[in-house]
Amino acid sequence: MAPARNKVVVLGAGGLLGRAVMAAARAAGRPAVGLLHAACDVAEPGAVRAALERERPALVVNAAAATDVERCEREPVWAWRVNALGARRVAAAAAAVGARLVHVSTDYVFDGAKGAAYDESDPPRPLSAYGRSKLAGERAVLALLPGALVVRTAWLFGPGGTNFVSRMPELLRRQGQLEAIADRWSSPTAADDLAAWILACAERAAGGLYHVVNPGVLSYAEAARAIARALGLDPARAVVERPAAAYRFAAARPRCSALCSLALPAEGLPALRPAAEALAALARSG
């Protein structure tokens, strides 16, 4: 049986990006099936293959991942089962049903030593179990399904997200002030923007590796100040800068993991809006 025309299956549909892809598909009038972890655990042999054979999608978006960086460090076998072996199972299942695959990866495949934004030609050097497992997943996907799109992104945020950047507007409204790390930088990226790019560009882009972020190199403190400005607060008063060394983490994190892209302009694909603009929109959203 051929894949259903335009049908999208989203793995990890309960997460921030998964929910955004489902919303973008609904807005575009595109048939989509969102599979939660309970319905399709990518770490379980046979689960993804059975789901895709049942749904027969034209496009699979793999937003399923073990993203708890601290737990990955404590439980590297769990991280590997989900992020490396799980990605391999998704690629094999997508190939078996003839579906296009978008696999989502991370800025944490880099060590941050470059001191500037990383493009697709930069060699990855992950510092953590999370980063190593995600890099292995990227490589497994492209080895099994060279036509797949591996999309690296960074610091995803959005309404309803539970991570720090997503919660900044709520914290600033409630407290009037927050503490934020001033010496770690990346490219904060709106999940809604990335979801729209995936649906618009999955069929246009050639297979391979893409860095897709809201362009910019911002620290947590700079992201918080952008949100504070949009809320009408004084950024200097609203954001208290702290060094990363003030916090104890089990997993090493890259000092600067901002991303930029050579692939998008080379292929005439659209870039996302600037990170500061997307952060201001987050502040206005609720």
Residues labelled as active-site residues: 130
Contacts of 95 (CB under 8 A, 6+ apart): 144, 145
The 3-state secondary structure of 45-71, one letter per residue? CCHHHHHHHHHCCCEEEECCCCCCHHH
H/E segment holding residue 165: helix 164-175
Q: How far apart are CA 60 and CA 150, in angstroms?
A: 12
Torsions phi, psi for 253 (to 5 deg): -125, 145
CB atoms under 10 Å from CB of 193, counted, come to 24
The DSSP code sequence of 219-258 is EHHHHHHHHHHHTT--HHHHEEEE-GGGS--SS---SB--
Q: CA angle, corner 146, sides to 46 and 112, nearest 5?
A: 95
The DSSP code sequence of 72-132 is HHH-HHHHIIIIIIHHHHHHHHHHHHT-EEEEEEEGGGS-STTSS-B-TTSPP---SHHHH
Query: Is 59 in contact with 4 (CB distance < 8 Å)?
Result: no
Q: How far apart are CA 131 and CA 220, in angstroms?
A: 20
CB atoms under 10 Å from CB of 142, counted, come to 18
